[in-house]
């Protein structure tokens, strides 16, 4: 029950369809410019802070170049529950510094995840969506 005695939304505990918790719920891609020393330093420090402050979350290597549909250097963090997603989202809003964060859910349609269901913390970057067309996962 909520503070007002009303029932809580099930969205606090489970992702709404078509988001698949078995596919990591949400991905957070932290973008930075690899030619900007301030960005590189902040990205490396942020990667370490997330690893320390959110040890339960999968965090992947720092890429120093574009990879997949991502147009610049980045690293990825995954969340598997609505609580993790909300906590990391709020934390990144406050701590991302000069970096931008691309956030997308994981469904069975990678193109839609990246093109239609995504959100940004900071400024949006153009993605290479062509490589995702027709890419569905089950």
Q: Tell me the domain boundaries of the chain.
A: 34-132
Q: What is the mean pLDDT of the segment spanning 6-24?
A: 86
Would the pLDDT of 107 be above 60?
Answer: yes
- Closest C-alpha among 98, 38, 65, 70 to residue 28: 70
**For the CA atoms of the chain, what is the radius of gyration?**
16
SS3 108: coil
CATH architecture of structural domain 34-132: 2-Layer Sandwich (3.30)
46-87, pLDDT tens digit by residue?
999 999 999 999 999 999 999 999 999 999 999 999 999 999
pLDDT at 4: 74
pTM score, whole prediction:
0.91
List % helix, strand, coil for the chain (3-state, nearest 5). Answer: 35, 20, 45
């Amino acid at each position: 029950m909520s503070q007002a005695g009303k029932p809580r939304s099930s969205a606090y505990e489970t992702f709404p369809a078509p988001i698949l918790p078995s596919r990591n719920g949400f991905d957070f891609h932290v973008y930075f410019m690899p030619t900007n020393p301030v960005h590189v330093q902040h990205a490396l420090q942020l990667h370490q802070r997330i690893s320390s402050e959110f040890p339960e979350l999968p965090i992947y290597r720092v890429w120093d170049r574009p990879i997949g549909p991502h147009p610049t250097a980045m690293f990825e963090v995954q969340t598997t529950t609505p609580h993790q997603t909300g906590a990391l989202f709020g934390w990144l809003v406050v701590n991302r510094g000069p970096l931008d964060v691309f956030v997308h859910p994981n469904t069975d349609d990678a193109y839609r995840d990246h093109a239609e269901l995504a959100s940004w913390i900071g400024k949006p970057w153009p993605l290479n969506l062509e490589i995702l067309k027709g890419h569905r996962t089950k």
